[in-house]
Structure 1
Amino acid sequence: MAAAVAAAPPSVTSATGVDTGRPRKPVLAGAAVVGAVLIAVPLLLAGGGNDDGRDPSRTVAAEDADTVLRQESAPAALDDYVAEKPSASPSKAKPTKSAAPVAAAPPPAPAAPQPSSSPTKTAKPKPKPKPKPKQTPQPNWSTETVSAVSVLEVNQAWTTNRIRMVMQTDGNLVVYNEKGKPIWASMTFGQNHRAIFQGDGNLVIHNAADRPIWASKSHGHDGAQLVLRADAKVVIVHNGRVVWST
């Protein structure tokens, strides 16, 4: 564009001060149109080159980038253009959730003693049970059976290992237990008395004159027996029935 403007012929000034080489107005108008056209054409060409929508500043930047092939760059080898099989798209592996760290449970706190509604009573020690006295073994008491007719004179007795029935010198018929204690007596006092167990089942005491002064009143039971039992009783038994007892 500058060359076109420089092409205009220079003006020549005469000695009289009249510019003999000054172009006319129509010539100037035509030159202006030509100049405008010359200015517009490069602009149109530059605009047409950018019709692909790219930014010219980006083009310049791309030329400076390493990705643009230049003549001075090394020629590509044949192996660089070998087609490769498309590899399967890597599956998106789900990220494994890391196990949350388990916090160790704190040891349980000791339970606080609950206040009791009533004051605690100290338990009294139970008294030791008193040892039971050992029972003395019961002796094997024996019995004695007297059949009729039997007579007890003074100082004579019917006896077992527990009791004895004795005619005393004072005329009294007495029964003593194993401890020597009198447990029964006829209360007949006198001299030279005797006791007779008769055949009719009657026990009679006679005095020195041979007269009856006491009787068991168990007569009429012929064949009866007088028994000194283990329970310290003296009985007269007839056919298994007791008809008299001390």
Structure 2
Amino acid sequence: MLKLALVDLKCSIASWRLWTLLGWLEVRQRYARSRVGPFWLTISMGVMIASIGVVYGTLFGQKMSDYLPFLASSLVMWNAFAQMVQEGSVAYINSGTYIRQASTPKLIYQLQVIWRNLVVLAHNFVIVLVLLVLFGVKSWEVLPLFIPGLALFLLNALWIGMLAGLLSARFRDLPQIIAALIQVAFYITPIIYKPTSLNRYAFIVEWNPLAYLMEIVREPLIGQAPSALTWGVTAGMALVGWPIALAMTGRYLKRIPYWV
């Protein structure tokens, strides 16, 4: 089972021209004949960050030069994660026509989701860069840690999307459940508030794996080095999650065309 999934993954990665082209075309198609194009994503995200930043920054008594970069990096990365998981849950369903008609590696459709949302992330990340220029980079020493942090972030988003897509192809009510769970997770994960704000309810963050997934990419951007615990939890999530996702994919890979 695991061998079958690994072969499919290898063939999917080798077909990178296909899934990168399909992902890019989907982004372009959404904003066809628009003068601003995909940068509408950046504009809408910028407006949301500015609105939430002013309101919650004032309510929490935060210094804007610290809070806005924190909020921007949090919302931009959370939006990427949420979209990767939600779109991953319907990747096989939405590509059912291709799956039934052509013999292609199935994980191509999950890689397509990751690539498409990486393109969106690149557009939204402009906001983070602008705020870093305006308020200054807090620490050039820890900033490069964002790269390995982003790699762990994507690895975890991919295996979660793989499992969600496989189970959603079999159980069609699951995408709606996943969307609801992600919305709940948004409120219990430190995104618009800092982890230290919960005081006696800090256990909500300590036992929330998504909090560590956010910290691994956010902290280097705001001038803090992720703790050893953060690296350990996110790496552990990938080490545990990937074998499970691959084993499940290998077991049910041949059933996907019948499910979709």
Greater fraction strand: 1
- Tell me the TM-score range normalised by the shorter chain: under 0.3
Select the structure of larger CA radius of gyration.
1
TM-score of the pair, normalised by structure 1: 0.16
Q: Which has the higher contact order (CA 8 A, sep 6+)?
A: 2
More helix by share: 2
